[in-house]
Amino acid sequence: MKISELVDLFEKTAFNAKRLSIAAKIYEEMIKNNAFVFFTLAGAMIPAGMRNVISDMIKNDFIHCLVTTGANVVHEICESLGFKHISGVPEVDDVELSKKGISRIYDVFIEQKAFEGLEEFISGILKELNGTFGSYEFLQEVGKRINDKNSFLRVSYERGIPIFCPTLHDSIIGLHITIYSNIVIDYKRDISKLLDLCFQKKKFGIVIIGGGVPKNFTLQSMLLAEGFDYAIQITTDLPEWGGLSGATLDEAKSWCKLKPNAKYMTVYCDATIALPLIYAYLLDKLK
Amino acid sequence: MKISELVDLFEKTAFNAKRLSIAAKIYEEMIKNNAFVFFTLAGAMIPAGMRNVISDMIKNDFIHCLVTTGANVVHEICESLGFKHISGVPEVDDVELSKKGISRIYDVFIEQKAFEGLEEFISGILKELNGTFGSYEFLQEVGKRINDKNSFLRVSYERGIPIFCPTLHDSIIGLHITIYSNIVIDYKRDISKLLDLCFQKKKFGIVIIGGGVPKNFTLQSMLLAEGFDYAIQITTDLPEWGGLSGATLDEAKSWCKLKPNAKYMTVYCDATIALPLIYAYLLDKLK
Amino acid sequence: MKISELVDLFEKTAFNAKRLSIAAKIYEEMIKNNAFVFFTLAGAMIPAGMRNVISDMIKNDFIHCLVTTGANVVHEICESLGFKHISGVPEVDDVELSKKGISRIYDVFIEQKAFEGLEEFISGILKELNGTFGSYEFLQEVGKRINDKNSFLRVSYERGIPIFCPTLHDSIIGLHITIYSNIVIDYKRDISKLLDLCFQKKKFGIVIIGGGVPKNFTLQSMLLAEGFDYAIQITTDLPEWGGLSGATLDEAKSWCKLKPNAKYMTVYCDATIALPLIYAYLLDKLK
Amino acid sequence: MKISELVDLFEKTAFNAKRLSIAAKIYEEMIKNNAFVFFTLAGAMIPAGMRNVISDMIKNDFIHCLVTTGANVVHEICESLGFKHISGVPEVDDVELSKKGISRIYDVFIEQKAFEGLEEFISGILKELNGTFGSYEFLQEVGKRINDKNSFLRVSYERGIPIFCPTLHDSIIGLHITIYSNIVIDYKRDISKLLDLCFQKKKFGIVIIGGGVPKNFTLQSMLLAEGFDYAIQITTDLPEWGGLSGATLDEAKSWCKLKPNAKYMTVYCDATIALPLIYAYLLDKLK
């Protein structure tokens, strides 16, 4: 059975399988209707193996602007430099791991030497740069210097897709910038650029993977514009806890971040499962 | 892309996609090694559209014994009698629904007349029966009288697959039995039959969908036997809350319900998504 | 600061602190208005140290009928016999534990010898009994033979408070009954007794701790009666997963299990925290 | 019963009540041992009514450095200016709300005019400022201009407690700064200041409320220092989902963010419940 057939069947079920099917169809409609798609990617999706999914989605024109975290940028560059994430288990002695120079992200291990490689790479770039950058401008400089066709920083650079990282300083790269450079990351530039994107003569879609700052930073840019026409969200946080990452897309309508008649759906599922399913669905239906 | 290819790729990711991949492979190994598979099905999976998955898994010899809830039995029979579950939404006025004779299970609606049809069907069967039954014996009597090739009660009856329902009384059928009959459901008979199954000269596997009584009732039968060789679990409950449905399979080893060297994996995911993926994987790999 | 003062302050906050405050006040109103309170207690609350809370709530007339699980009954009797639950940690080697004769419930340990003591006690009772029992009748026989003023089985026996255990067979006691006796636990008797309680000339309240069969079994008895006037629920399961334990009390209105104008509130919180807070609130306000 | 007595009793229970008791005692030990306490506050705790708890904890010297989100800063200032959060419900028509000029945060409502007041206040401050600021320096300027003894910005300003807001731009204030000013928020200054704090000759504690950027930003500053001696975390996110907010404190040890022999505990609970309990416990024990 093809994945798209299963996702189609999911529409006749209930709970989160049905939600996933509806979300996939809304994403399909975004693309068919030529909407501009903001894609927000939280947390630890790159260590969790979603790197190729993201870069392939960019290559397939399913993502027109990426908003992500410092952690995802850090781990993407580590992989671009040839360092690997190691498949581990969560039940370990973390002090023992640290003695071996291994850091853990749930069931993913990474060696400290990856961060040493990163430091060398980033400090090298920083020596060449001066002045003030939006995070998207700094990441263009990084992407320009990456030589890996699976790097979403590289792919985005080549295709002119902006990547915003509103928490770049909340990562090891933030430490590098503090230690090694005099450049300033001025997020006013990110906000201005994002606002420009929100005023294109287009329909707008947002695809939210996992909440966090990427979700809020992108949604808030619509406070000054018309609101999103389409929105889908994949999260394991839940509305009853009251936090932003689990907040419903209905709630976003009270803030006018979604248009009153927007199409939207939340899927409560680990994105490592739901995102590849939706991506495969789009490939089947649109390519 | 075929589903089995995606599930194979999931093994190289992390978090619950990786868990799902490992669980699928353990299930595959259960079947290849001719283990006897106990399949426990909690809650509302039948209203949620998993009925055909279950009956097809039985037809394909992936389930050798089913342990489920009164709710799943009730809704299975309603569908066997031709009543439909209606795709709804959770954001409704439930008092209005009740006035229209509609009951709700999250985003699934069902008309009260389905339960009237059920009552007529069950009361008719009860008139024909006398004496003491295990739940599995009573459900054989029901399956015998169902005329629907997608009914898992019918399919199980035809194939001699026992279906245990340790919470039959915790359902509308329990009310029917109380009102319309003098038969006694004596779960001592279920326990004895389950114990017999646990003493076959075979390897044993357990597939746990969603926890609850089906999980515990099946696991506890191994207190008197050797323990399971294989175990997989799909749940959205989590161990940190301390309850049975989220309890890890490690914990089951402290009770000797799993063998010390058992292969096992838990997937934290809505089963409406994870179960069809695993079923499709098994079909691809084994048929 | 007194606990009741804090719970009062919670009403001016939001999220689950506010929910907890409202739930406490609804419970207070149940008692003040002389409602008959069904109290449903799932899972592992007794191993988790809630035994004295339950027996004290019965002594203080806050519980008029208890519906609970086999697990809670088993662990209550173990403590009544002098065996202790041991404070442990979840990060252990469960095979090592099993070798030491210790079983684990998340972070609670219990020695196998407690279950041996239980077996001796229960098998002794079973030798004295014959015939058919509702679970509540069997548990009266047990309570009669317990000599511990903190035992909720003993306290309930003395006060004539019925304790229903619709999953008695889903516990080690179920195995004992199967092996050592010819008595039959016939849940038709439980259903009939519960229905009698639902037809008293009173207002009705339900306090749901943790979901599961106790929740559903008690709610379903109102299918044949008028519905509850008050309902509060403490759970860590969430509605978006679609299962019974997380189902909203709104959903229960579509089934007419709650009256259309019922007062109700769900608190999403570990009951080991929320239940003692609510109990202390009731003591402060009502005693 | 006093709250501290209940929290003491919790230690003899299990699950999250026990976790809460241990966490409270670790916090108590931090204060007694004169540790420097970094307090990280995510998400929507201020709209949820925790403002006075935070400002009182600062007054009582339980917080020596606060790291929080743009959202919390925005809503704190709105209250300082006299605007109120309104107790609402989550089941509403959000388009209707938006038409009435009301925005929703789960069950909390706030009128748009609060944000208009905020804009006037912030734009006024921005006119007076020039140059480059760390977020903590900017927030000192704000606190200096607030006239409300319950404002944690004011209290912190008076006491010289630094408040870091690494996501200041991820809030309406970020939009104001972009539109109304030429000042630059340069987080390099925050990182340098945080690092200075991490090199004091003291023991270090971290109290993490809800995860997010405040958690990671504070933990990462210890990558260059010795690691925390004490850590407690209150969260409703769970480790099995793989994200940062649910990541265990064990995992932080693999990164050397906690010392190998650190004392630490995570409480899985809505912080609106757990934080006031812990604060009241500290008051009882230490004041």
CA distance A164 to A68: 6
* Helix, strand or coil, per DSSP, at residue A3: helix
Cβ atoms B169, B177 nearer than 8 A: yes
- Find which of B91, B92, B240, B248 to mutate to test the D interface (most D CBs within 10 Å of its CB): B240
Give the pLDDT band of residue B1 (cuts 50, 70, 90): confident
Residues of chain A with C-beta less than 8 angstroms from the C-beta of D97: 254
* Helix, strand or coil, per DSSP, at residue D109: strand
Q: CB-CB: which of A95, A191, A272 is closest to D174?
A: A191
In terms of CA atoms, which chain C residue is nearest residue A269? C241
CA distance B243 to B247: 6
pLDDT for position D43: 80
Backbone angles phi, psi at A244, to 5 degrees: -65, -40
The torsion of the CA quartet B109, B111, B112, B114, rounded to 10 degrees, works out to -110
Q: Where are the alpha helices (DSSP H) in chain D?
A: 3-10, 15-32, 51-59, 70-80, 94-99, 112-128, 135-144, 152-159, 172-180, 187-198, 212-221, 249-254, 271-286
Task: Determine, for residues A16 and C239 on separate chains, whether the beta-carbon distance falls below 8 Å.
Answer: no
Residue B43 confidence (pLDDT) above 90 = no
CA distance B263 to B24: 12
Q: CB-CB: which of A212, A252, A255 is closest to D212?
A: A212
D219-253, pLDDT tens digit by residue? 999 999 999 999 999 999 999 999 999 999 999 99
Task: Determine, for residues B247 and C106 on separate chains, whether the beta-carbon distance falls below 8 Å.
Answer: yes
Give the pLDDT band of residue B35 (cuts 50, 70, 90): very high
Q: Chain B closest CA to D140's CA: distance in Å?
A: 40
What is the DSSP code string of chain B? -BHHHHHHHHTTS-HHHHHHHHHHHHHHHHHHTT-EEEEEE-TTTIIIIIHHHHHHHHHTT--SEEEE-HHHHHHHHHHHTT---EE--SSS-HHHHHHTTEEEETTEEEEHHHHHHHHHHHHHHHHH--SEE-HHHHHHHHHHT---TT-HHHHHHHHT--EE-TTTTSSHHHHHHHHH---EE-HHHHHHHHHHHHTSSS-EEEEEES-HHHHHHHHHHGGGS--EEEEEEEES--GGG--STT--HHHHHHTTSEEEEEEEEEEES-HHHHHHHHHHHHHHHH-
Which residue is listed with tokens 């609350």?
A: C45
Q: What does DSSP assign to residue C222?
A: G
Q: Chain D closest CA to C234's CA: distance in Å?
A: 12
Residues B25, B257, B259, B263: which is the catalytic one?
Answer: B257
CA distances to B44, B90, B254, C229, D197 from A240, rounded to whole Å, are 21, 14, 34, 24, 36
Q: What is the pTM of this model?
A: 0.98
Q: CB-CB: which of A213, A241, A256 is closest to D98?
A: A256
Task: Determine, for residues A16 and C238 on separate chains, whether the beta-carbon distance falls below 8 Å.
Answer: no
pLDDT for position D265: 98
pLDDT for position B67: 98
Give the pLDDT band of residue D94 (cuts 50, 70, 90): very high
Q: Chain B closest CA to A268's CA: distance in Å?
A: 8
Task: Determine, for residues D270 and C268 on separate chains, whether the beta-carbon distance falls below 8 Å.
Answer: yes
Question: Domains in chain C, ordered, with CATH?
Answer: 3-81+112-286 (3.40.910.10)
Structure tokens at C22: 């409202």
CA distance C199 to C213: 21
Which residue is listed with tokens 């916090």?
A: D27
Structure tokens at A135: 């995070």
Structure tokens at A153: 């920083």
- Cβ count near D140 (within 10 Å): 19
CA distance C165 to B67: 20
The torsion of the CA quartet A15, A20, A23, A29, rounded to 10 degrees, works out to -130
The subunits that touch chain A, with at least 3 C-beta pairs less than 8 Å apart, are: B, C, D
Which residue is listed with tokens 């994945």?
A: A3
B123-137, pLDDT tens digit by residue? 999 999 999 999 999
Q: What does DSSP assign to residue A105?
A: E
Max Cα-Cα span within chain C: 57
Tell me which residues of chain D have a C-beta less than 8 Å from any C-beta of chain C. Answer: 1-3, 6, 9-10, 12-18, 20, 47-50, 85, 87, 91, 105-108, 268-270, 272-274, 276-277, 280, 283-284
pLDDT for position A129: 97
Cβ atoms A199, A227 nearer than 8 A: no
pLDDT for position D16: 98
Burial of A285 (0-12, 13-18, 19+ CB in 10 A): middle
Q: CB-CB: which of B186, B242, B255 is closest to C44?
A: B242
Cβ atoms B3, B287 nearer than 8 A: no
Of the candidates C218, C286, C226, the residue with the CA atom closest to the CA atom of residue C24? C286
Backbone angles phi, psi at B46, to 5 degrees: -75, -50
Residues of chain D with C-beta less than 8 angstroms from the C-beta of C6: 3, 276-277, 280
Q: What angle do CA C138, C140, C142 make, to 5 degrees?
A: 75
CA distance C219 to C235: 16
Q: Chain D closest CA to C92's CA: distance in Å?
A: 14
Q: What residues are paired with A138 via a beta bridge?
A: none
Residues D257, D259, D263, D285: which is the catalytic one?
Answer: D257
| Distance from chain centroid for Cα B238 | 19
Task: Determine, for residues A188 and D172 on separate chains, whether the beta-carbon distance falls below 8 Å.
Answer: no
CA distance A192 to C195: 66
* Helix, strand or coil, per DSSP, at residue C256: coil
Backbone angles phi, psi at C107, to 5 degrees: -110, 20
CA distance A246 to D42: 13
CA distance D94 to C222: 34
When the pLDDT of each residue in chain C is averaged and rounded to a whole number, the result is 97
CA distance D238 to C271: 17
Which residue is listed with tokens 């950027």?
A: D213
D1-57, pLDDT tens digit by residue? 899 999 999 999 999 999 999 999 999 999 999 999 999 999 899 999 999 999 999
Over residues C140-164, the mean pLDDT reads 98
Residues of chain C with C-beta less than 8 angstroms from the C-beta of D107: 14-15, 18
Phi-psi region of B112 (alpha: psi -120 to 50; beta: other; left: phi over 0): alpha
In terms of CA atoms, which chain C residue is nearest residue D283? C1
Q: CB-CB: which of B3, B6, B272 is closest to A14?
A: B272
Residues of chain D with C-beta less than 8 angstroms from the C-beta of A169: 166, 187-188, 190-191, 217
Task: Determine, for residues C268 and A14 on separate chains, whether the beta-carbon distance falls below 8 Å.
Answer: no
Own/partner long-range contacts of C250-255 (Cβ < 8 Å, ≥24 apart):
C250/B94, C250/D91, C251/B94, C251/B104, C251/B105, C251/B106, C252/B94, C252/C219, C253/B94, C253/B95, C253/B98, C254/B92, C254/B94, C254/B95, C254/B97, C254/B98, C254/B102, C254/B103, C254/B104, C255/B98, C255/B103, C255/B104, C255/C219, C255/C223
Give the pLDDT band of residue B270 (cuts 50, 70, 90): very high
Phi-psi region of B60 (alpha: psi -120 to 50; beta: other; left: phi over 0): alpha
- Find which of A15, A52, A91, A237 to mutate to test the B interface (most B CBs within 10 Å of its CB): A15
- Find which of D270, D281, D284 to mutate to test the C interface (most C CBs within 10 Å of its CB): D270
Q: What angle do CA D228, D234, D237 make, to 5 degrees?
A: 110
CA distance D124 to D106: 31
CA distances to A231, C36, C56, C209 from C61, rounded to whole Å, are 51, 10, 9, 17
Task: Determine, for residues A106 and B17 on separate chains, whether the beta-carbon distance falls below 8 Å.
Answer: no
Q: Which one-letter amino acid corresponds to residue A188?
A: K
The stretches in chain A having pLDDT less than 70 are none
* Helix, strand or coil, per DSSP, at residue A230: strand
pLDDT for position C43: 80
Q: Chain D closest CA to B208's CA: distance in Å?
A: 18
Over residues B11-21, the mean pLDDT reads 98
Element (H, E) at D235: strand D228-235
- D179's CB contacts (< 8 A; 6+ apart) are none
CA distance B243 to C211: 10
Task: Determine, for residues A16 and C240 on separate chains, whether the beta-carbon distance falls below 8 Å.
Answer: yes
B57-115, pLDDT tens digit by residue? 999 999 999 999 999 999 999 999 999 999 999 999 999 999 999 999 999 999 999 99
Task: Determine, for residues C12 and D108 on separate chains, whether the beta-carbon distance falls below 8 Å.
Answer: no
Burial of C119 (0-12, 13-18, 19+ CB in 10 A): middle
In terms of CA atoms, which chain D residue is nearest residue C48? D14
The subunits that touch chain C, with at least 3 C-beta pairs less than 8 Å apart, are: A, B, D
Residues of chain B with C-beta less than 8 angstroms from the C-beta of D241: 15-16, 268
C167-203, pLDDT tens digit by residue? 999 999 999 999 999 999 999 999 999 999 999 999 9
pLDDT for position B169: 98
Residues of chain A with C-beta less than 8 angstroms from the C-beta of C241: 15-16, 268
Beta strand pairing call for B132-133 and B184-185: parallel
Q: Chain D closest CA to B92's CA: distance in Å?
A: 10
Cβ atoms C74, C55 nearer than 8 A: no
Give the pLDDT band of residue B202 (cuts 50, 70, 90): very high
C228-268, pLDDT tens digit by residue? 999 999 999 999 999 999 999 999 999 999 999 999 999 99
Task: Determine, for residues D167 and A213 on separate chains, whether the beta-carbon distance falls below 8 Å.
Answer: yes
Give the pLDDT band of residue D186 (cuts 50, 70, 90): very high
Q: Which one-letter amino acid corresponds to residue A173?
A: I
- C10's CB contacts (< 8 A; 6+ apart) are C17, C18, C20, C21, D272, D273, D276
Q: Which one-letter amino acid corresponds to residue C122?
A: I
Residue D117 confidence (pLDDT) above 90 = yes
Interaxial angle between packed helices A152-159 and A51-59, expressed in degrees from 0 to 180 and rounded to the nearest 10: 10
Residues of chain D with C-beta less than 8 angstroms from the C-beta of C47: 14
Q: Has B257 been annotated as catalytic?
A: yes
Q: Chain B closest CA to C287's CA: distance in Å?
A: 32
Give the pLDDT band of residue C1 (cuts 50, 70, 90): confident
Burial of D30 (0-12, 13-18, 19+ CB in 10 A): buried
Task: Determine, for residues D242 and B16 on separate chains, whether the beta-carbon distance falls below 8 Å.
Answer: yes
Q: CB-CB: which of D14, D239, D242 is closest to B242?
A: D14
Q: Chain C closest CA to D281's CA: distance in Å?
A: 9
